[in-house]
Chains A and B, each alone.
Chain A
Amino acid sequence: MDGKFFDPVCGMDLSDIEDVATFSSGGEEFRFCGDYCVNRFKKNPGKFQNEPLIKLREVRKVFKMDGAETRALRGLNLNVWAGDFTAIIGSSGSGKSTALNMMGMLDRPTGGKIFLNGKNTSRIEDIKRAKLRSDMFGFVFQQYNLIPWLTAYENVALPLIFAGEKVNKQKIETGFREVGMSDRMDHRPFQLSGGEQQRTALLRALANEPDIILGDEPTGNLDSKTGGIILEMLVKLNKEKKKTLVIVTHDADIANMADQIITIKDGKTIRNHGKHKKTYTA
């Protein structure tokens, strides 16, 4: 893009970096933001020479509210690889949730491009976006976001209704059994605990069997024990069911569990992929 070079692993714009790392493979020289990405590349060069599952290039997002402009993203570049657990970490207001919304097509960028499986999705029409969201993505939010006038069961069935699919009652009941909520399916969200609501939200996210799970601080509203259970479920989905997992967090402990850590500061990715020592303030 415009003669720019991007790290083939994390997708960072290398023009901002003075001391780029290099590595040759198959007679070709690759440039990286640092040793962390070089080492990742070395372990599986074939993987990183293909298209990433999700690619953001120079993505900008400006919010206009009451005449005031807020630049949430200022040319964000990142790659998400199929089957990876990617954590996006940063302080409050860094643009990490906005980045997740871009990936999941919950919002449109003001500038730049977003690729899903190599296809530019930045400007596609609404009906195709809705179909892609339904087929490819499952969302888990910090505030659970269950529909209050539907039961837990009905909340999980909802994505299938919107997709025009048949609701498989047995499959949904099995899901509730696996998360230990067989006897809570007919309850409405206000009758469920935070953990139960998030488990329901997780089942809803999986209803259409998407390839990608996006979580925006999924444990943010939960106590550490319950949060741990939810995180364990998410990680299990990634490791055992090979779901691509992208989690936005400010918690270093969660980020350190990921295959790839993307750090966002002031709407751009910065070079900070390794194990994080500090947790960002929320």
Chain B
Amino acid sequence: MFKNFLILTLKGIRYRPMRSWLTILGIVIGIMLVVIILSLSGGIKNAVGKQLQMFGSNLIVIFPGKETNPLIGFLGDQSFRERDLMELEKIKGVKTIVPMEVRVMNIEYKGEKKSILVHAAPWRGMIEVFEQAQGLRLQEGRWPINDQANEVVLGYLTINKLFKNKVRLGDEIIVKSKRMKVVGYVSEIGNQMDDNTIYISMDIFRNMTGIRGRERSAFAIIKPGANINLVAKQIKFSLSKQEVVRDFSVITPEKAGRLVGNVLSIIEFILMIIAGISLLVGAVGIMNTMYTSVLERTRQIGVMKAIGASSDSILSLFLIESGMIGLVGGILGIVFGVTASYIISFIAVKFGIGNLFSFASLDLLGLFVILIITFITGIVSGVLPARAAAKMEPAEALRYE
């Protein structure tokens, strides 16, 4: 009997194809969002993790401002006194303190002007930070010979894609009206901001800007074997004694991972809520369609009862219909969601973010659970309208115009 009811229901759905497909679309959108979030969140976490790994395991970052606003901290107005930062080298476990400045500056190459991030630090410290951080290597060329040389090292995208003409080693670039020679460039980091950058020495930076005795941030390179968390605490304690920068952050790689993880989790949670709401709207859509279907088919319900259908049979027919709409929506949502995840991942590669999605990493059990949920959602959405249909007296339904 179930097989016959299923065939009957499918014929009924095909009778009003536009309405059925529009209702299914409501479910497809919700499921597609859920599948995209689930498929990509693992990849995103891995990509961010990979970025953080480049940070290096023996580096501590010190910058003004609260932990929750790292970018504002890096690009804001507050600066530490240089002597307060260099004082930190006295802490046991600290190998070197590398003061760092990060500013947006104007640069010009063959008449073309751009604004990019400039990283300034003493060259020896900068090279040591790069060596600690995995993935940051000099790709081609050389480091500048000393801190007074008018030489710069470029980021991967700066040399290859920033300007209309690809920059060559040995070419001249104008940074804040000062002519500088390009002597090398670093390997690709994997994000737009870090790859579109330029590295200069702290001395050159001070000459350009006139800023002396103050630095916005610093890297602390930790001695091998030292307890990084303990050193971080000591750095924090030492800096708390200075009064120039009230709020500051001391971030170890582990803490950075946790902070980013928290943010990603919150974003994931919010997206899942949005997806859940979208699915709820889809479910309401099914209920609306089923109520309309019951109204439209009132007479037919009367006829079916007249020719022997029980209330349970009528209930079954409508529940199968709403369940089928949910199930088909779920199947299509999964197919489109997986396809969209693949496309997003493909596009992300062009922006330097790889491995966001792979078919091998698909959680098949999770997808199956999603299918069950959409089927049940369809059935539950159809319960009230189906009961209204089943309750009708045949004569009452037959009288309906």
Contacts and interface: CB of A to CB of B under 8 A. Distances in A.
A149 B303 contact: no
Contacts of B308: 130-131, 133-134, 159, 162-163, 208
B304 to A, nearest CB: 7
B39 interface: no
A106 interface: yes
A145 B398 contact: yes
A107 B312 contact: no
Please indicate which of the listed interface residues B8, B395, B396 has the most CB atoms of chain A within 10 Å of its own CB.
B395
Interface in A83-133: 98, 101, 104, 106-108, 126-127, 130-131, 133
Contacts, number: 78
Contacts of A146: 303
B110 to A, nearest CB: 71
A139 B302 CA distance: 12
A62 interface: no
Given A127-B312, A145-B299, A204 B307 contact: yes
A1 B305 CA distance: 31
B307 A162 contact: yes
A141 interface: yes
B12 interface: yes
A161 B306 contact: no
A139 B393 contact: no
Contacts of B360: none
Contacts of A106: 302, 305-306, 393-395, 398
A228 interface: no
Contacts of B312: 127
Interface residues of B, number: 27
Contacts of A208: 308
A159 B303 CA distance: 10
Contacts of B302: 106, 145
Given A147-B304, A149-B14, A208-B308, A107 B394 contact: yes
A164 B306 contact: no
Contact of A147 (B1, B300, B311, B398): B300
Nearest to B312: A127
A179 interface: no
Given A107-B395, A126-B311, A127-B311, A133 B306 contact: yes
B11 A149 contact: yes
Contacts of A131: 308, 310
B311 A130 contact: yes
Given A101-B395, A126-B311, A130-B309, A164 B1 contact: yes
B209 interface: no
Contacts of A258: none
B15 A162 contact: no
14 contacts: A106-B305, A106-B394, A106-B398, A107-B395, A107-B396, A130-B310, A133-B305, A134-B308, A139-B306, A145-B303, A145-B398, A146-B303, A149-B11, A162-B313
Interface of B: 1, 4-5, 8, 11-12, 14-15, 299-300, 302-313, 393-396, 398
